[in-house]
Amino acid sequence: MKRFSWGLSIFYLVFLYGWIGFDVFLFSRMGAESRVHIPVLIIVLINILFFTALMIVVITQSIRSISAIRNKNINYCINSYLFYKYAAAPVILTAIFISLYIMLGVIVITPMSFVMPQLLLILPFLWAFAFIMLPIVWTFAIIADIPSFIASVCILAFTKSENKISLGKCILHFILQIIPIVDLIDGLYISIKYWKRGKVAAVVTAFCVIVGMAAYFIVPAL
């Protein structure tokens, strides 16, 4: 049976977070005094290079997951799902946070602008930022989540073919896999409930959630 490809996974991490790091660096330099000036054409070409390389990795991994299901290699699909889901989690959580932050700003400032006319100067820039930033952020998030989503579909298809799950539950799990954060919990449930795998990942997830919640409430109080 085909084993999980760590080399392909490392390429995925390098291209995904290298692309994000490059664009974050550029955004951080915009409007600031810096001696670093990269021509627009170079920026576009580098972004195209990152996108092309990442899509090659994503497509390759998706094909390997589909091939693994044909060979009834459920271990490969579960390992792929867990790795790529955890790898994409920071990107998806960041996309959710930025989206909520921007939406909250729009919801708060828009009605206030009727009372405070000076806010009307800020409002167009806020709306423009929302229309530009949100598609960029969610493009990263969607691309990052493709390998784990394909793996989840393969797992559900194989689980259904083995009569371990009904069609109704299969559809329900598919819907849950579209919902950020819920998808990871659902994926762990599927791997543990139907395939007796993923218990270590479940413990790691619970630990991360507890630490994250503790940091959220404790750090601001310090």
CA proximity to 159, closest of 151, 45, 88: 151
For each of the chain's 222 residues, which pLDDT tens digit applies? 567 777 888 888 888 888 888 887 777 766 555 555 667 778 888 888 888 888 888 888 888 888 888 888 888 888 888 888 888 888 888 888 888 888 787 777 777 767 776 666 777 777 777 787 788 888 888 888 888 899 899 899 888 888 888 888 889 999 999 888 888 888 888 888 888 876 666 566 656 655 655 554 554 444
What lies within 8 Å, CB to CB, of 23 at 6+ separation is 47, 136
Break the chain into its structural domains and give their ranges. Answer: 4-217
Report the length, in residues, of the chain.
222
